[in-house]
Structure 1
Amino acid sequence: MALSFQEADGCATIWLFVSAIQNKFVLVNNGSDDAMDDEVILDHHYPNPFSLPTPSLGNLPEIEQVVRNCNNSNNGRDGLAKFILSEDYIKQLIPLVDMAEDMEDLASLHKLCNIMKIFILLNDNSIMELVVRDDLILGSVGALEYDPDFPSHKANHRQWLGKAGRYKEVVRIDDDDIRRKIHTVHRLQYLKDVVLARILDDPTFSVLNSLIFFQQVDILTYIQSNPLFLKELFGIFDAQETNQERKKEAVLFIQQCCAIAKNLQPPGRQTLYSSFLDHGLLSVITFALRHSDTGVRVGATDVLVSMIDHDPSMIRQTIFRQMSEKQTPLTDSLIDLLLVEVDLGVRAQIADTIKVLLDSGIHPEGPKMGGNDFNNPSRRVIVDPQHIEFVKDFYDGSAKKLFQPLIDLKDRGDMNFSIHQVSLFTYLIEILSFFVRQHTHNSKYFVLSENLGDRIAQLLSSPEKYLKLTALKFFRNLIGVQDEFYNQQMMSGRVFETILNLVTETMPRDNLLNSACLEFFDFIRVQQFKSIISHLVESHRAEMKKITYVEMFQNFITRYDDSAGFDSTMEASFLETAGSETPKRSGIGPRRWEAGIKDIDASEEEYFNTSDDEDDIVNKSARSVNGASPLSKPLVDYPSDEENENMEADIAPSSSEGKKLRAGSSKEVEAESALPSPPERLSEKRRREEDEEDELNKLSQSKRRNSSSSNAGNLLRRKKSFSPQSGTVSASKSNKISISLSTAIKTGGEGGGGESGR
């Protein structure tokens, strides 16, 4: 009711209804009969939403007015829909179309068109099915041919739908209900796409789509569940069948089935495609791709693309089976068609199909339950060995045939091509760019062996700007891979020189080609490809100085000059030969980086190379004292060798004993205590942190432990002087190590007690 007030007609209708009810109450109070209710309402010109007058050419204006008024409210629409279905009102209106045409009554035809539009736009499923019924469809669309919005034009819907030749049965369908549904779907689609396309609103569009969908589900269910039908359908492509026209119609029928299957749920599509493949769909596609009729080739590619969009692995498995049976794989048929196809739409679909079929097939493996794989950024990937073998076979045979047009450019000087040649080169370059990203190893060898980089570089001199952009996009993808192999190939093929020339040629014009070239060099700047920048400055400094309207090229030169050509930090080339000089690396000792191990720090290496001679220790300690080197904290406070004889006294030393011990220490011990500490390792750090907890014992034994720590440091250095080459240690050192360790164990066991003893 509230929605009725948004228009003036709805407001007037509601007001008339209210006025009629008020007058009725007045008449009832005056003693009038209750049976006068309907007459009172009609006398006040309120239309009854539940009844319409019998149709005739004379009362069409009245019918149109009543229908319009009922269409303004929800109750009126519901009542009107029920009345139309109960009285079969559309069937009563259809004869008026022929009568008005015979009388050339254009006004009546326009009113019939408006009435039929309102009936259809009521969005009632039953009315929609009634309109497309066999005995009503021609009359319904006949009324819709005379649109009052276009009074001087007449449509020909009846001529289109009335042609019986448009319905072709490739295989006889015995089920009459399925045949009726096929006709219903066709008529509903025609209503949606042609007749009502201009006035169709969202609710009506949804109603039509739902009707079409449910009818199509029933049709496909019948087809895929009828093995006799499928056997007869695919039997048309046997060698015994000589009717080429019937084969063509069979391909188009399969295309329509696959197009309908796009609207189904994935399980329904999977069932249909599997049934088709089991009956030999790929052989049908191979036949259709080689057909002379463009429509048949389009149908085959459409079927193939539909199945690949649903599940590419399903097609790959079928191709693997073809290869195992020594049959010509589907990819070869696609390549042959791509090279000779003149239809640009078919060529685009074939190029996409080849890329999808040769996708790497690598997908990450899901995380294992109970593990830490969720936090692992580099999860393992599952590689299909069968697909790897398929890709290898492709590069061994089919790849050269696919890219033969590019290989043939080797001895060609003229870069003027036809439209079809330009289109073919464009798709081939896009496919090759995809292969470079997906098949790292195989594509790298193939590009090098066939020298495809130089062939595509030739296309940069073509007069077709779109072809230049496509070739430039290929090289942009190559540097985007960030592989030094491709960088060296581009430098040896003088690709950068050609692109610099493009910048110079297009410099006065700020067009797409110029912007693409600038983005190419800007990517080099952002990613800091030092080898490429050095090549540009060393080989093309003069050309780069001429480009002054952007600062990028001057920055290349300045940066190269300021860093002395990146000599100190330039990384090794990917294409080093066996006899080339290995890049020098700073550091002391063997080059461990070649095995992937980090170099030892210089100070750490010097510590491990320290001599154990007493004179060297004294000299080094003197230098450390003069250089104000801080005293290192001992890692573990082991007692000295001199304390082995007085273990019981050392457990609780007095202050006098501490003084004697300090007075008796030699200069050598003092010098050793001043030595710089070696680099602290993780295990040693943990032991140091545990000993720091016993501060009370350390305070009482601090003086004695200074001497002990110097001996412990001397012991540690002597342990590290073990030679890996000889695999032995001197007898004196070995004896001293064993004595010191036994002394430390004995001291800790007897005098520690609690945490200190442990």
Structure 2
Amino acid sequence: MKQNSEIYLCKLHYLVEDRWDCMNTGYINFNSKNEMILIEKETSMEVFAVSVNQQYNFTFDEEEAIQFQFNDYYALSFQSKQGAQNVWNKIQNILNEEDDDESIVLTPVNENNLPLILETMNKLVQSGNQAKQILSSYLLNKKDYLDMLIIQFNKLEQNNNQGLLQIMCQIVKNIVTVSEHELFQILLSDQYYLFIFGALEYDEEMTKKNFVPHRQFFEKNAQFLQVVQIKSKERLKTIHFIYRLQYLRDCGLAYYIDECQLMLIKIVLSNKNHDRLLRVAIWISQNTLKILKNFLLTLLINSEISISQLQNFLQKYVQFLKNSKIQIKLLFIKNQESMDYMKLLKIIQLIHFKDEILLKIPTMILELVISCLQNYPINFRKYIISEHQQVLKYPLFNLIVENAFKNDLYLEILKLLIDNTSDEQNDTLNCFLSQFYPKLSQYNSQEFKVEQKTQFVEISLGLARNLKTSVKEVLILNQTTFKIGFILQENNKILQTKCLQFFKIMILQRDEDLNKQIIMALPNLISPLLVYKGLRENLIFSQLLEIIKIIYEGGNQNIIRQLEQELKQWEQHSNYQKIQDIFKTIKNNCLKNQFSNLASESKPQHQINYNVVDDEIDLFKSVQGHSTNLHKQPLKKLVDYDDEIEVISKKTKID
């Protein structure tokens, strides 16, 4: 079509409340991406563009008007009937070719044509997903084209033609870029995989230091060992395919494969293939959901979440994104001359509204990931373990930890991962403890907000609940107990409750190494007790008293002595005498119970099971339950207990 030809002059109309408003006047043209564009008559600038495809419902009323639905309703009215007919014919041709896999024909393979083949492929790869799918389908239907490439590649190697070998490498990289499940199956089959990896050996961008040629690695270094003989040929074929695909991801093209392609490879590795969903999700991964680094889709498929529901949601989201920018642009164009302040304000509000929606999309996806962890932890663990890579161990851990203090949903995922740790995950947990927890433990400085300190305490509490040897060592090395003691001083009830839960777990371990850490934190347990001057039934105060009771019940004289010495340093405090009396009462009750248990040959008091609960009300009841004698016995009666204990002690010495 001749650009700016008068027969293609038309007006663009926009349907508003059952009437057509004229938005602009200009010339219709088409670009290489099969987009219909409007070039403004006065400025010769492109002011409107819409992709020509079936979803926009193009119609022609044969009276110089072409209508289409692009989120809203639009119409083109031409001054020339011939121009309208020509434009409609062009639209029809594009729509008819939309699903035609044979709409491209690659140049025959020979030395002279290799640069032209590469140029054609580059254009297709850069033209978007539809062009990539066309190229992929062409290669699937023309398998002999791959055979011709192999023959040409062997000739180039014999002649040591380095220039053309590098072009062949770029061609192979393009082929990998457009590959989906079926094409990957062909490329990495026994017939073709050595050609693919052989061509990638000539990649100039690959670091050559200590480089082992891919073909040499497969033919000499890689060994396939069978503990149990596998008789099924299909099973063996699948095993080899998965290994080669992982090698391609981690070694062959680790630096080159983009996020979209990496996600696709991971889905292929899961042995699932939902074609329509893939196309939508790939488009999203290229635009807005990069925070997930492609882990989302495999996780969702493996977790058996409704694919149809997700697909419907994603399709609507894609349509929304495509229409957002053009709608805002049109509104500006429509109002730029009048400069109506209220209208422009509405446009700005619309932009903010759309931004709000865009921000909610990743949140929805992260909530789905959390749902997977809550309902399908086994699948999630398998996926974590499969993410081991040569360059970076467990990249999903990297992603989650890096964002844990920036996003509450990532933090929730991290806590669920820690809570669902099992024996088979020891490697991943150890990796987390050695590489990431030391970074997290730095987040308790005075500069950080209460929310960030809460996050650190919650993660530490999750680790404490599953106190393996490796966890204990890391908690000691990073002085976690001491740091949480400082955080306990925050005037925040929820945060203090979580800190005290952590202390309770640590003290109940009755471990000498942990006891040393507890002694360091004792000053931070005493100071909140002295500050409180209200009723004893206060939740935080009750929890602190329960911890003091557990210390006395444990009978560790070193901790008890340090506790009492620390309290004595506060003799000048106005609340000192009251707290000292409470300590005495708790100590006497514990001694009485211990002598009573010894007399009845029951198990030691420190073996009583204490339930650490998250719910504050339950925890409060638990505290009151342990402190029943403390609250019900009057102070005068406690003096009698002292006398009884003294008599028992003297009798024991005489015996």
Name the TM-score, length of structure 1 as normaliser.
0.32
Q: Which has the higher contact order (CA 8 A, sep 6+)?
A: 2
Greater strand proportion = 2
Specify the structure having the higher radius of gyration (Cα). 1
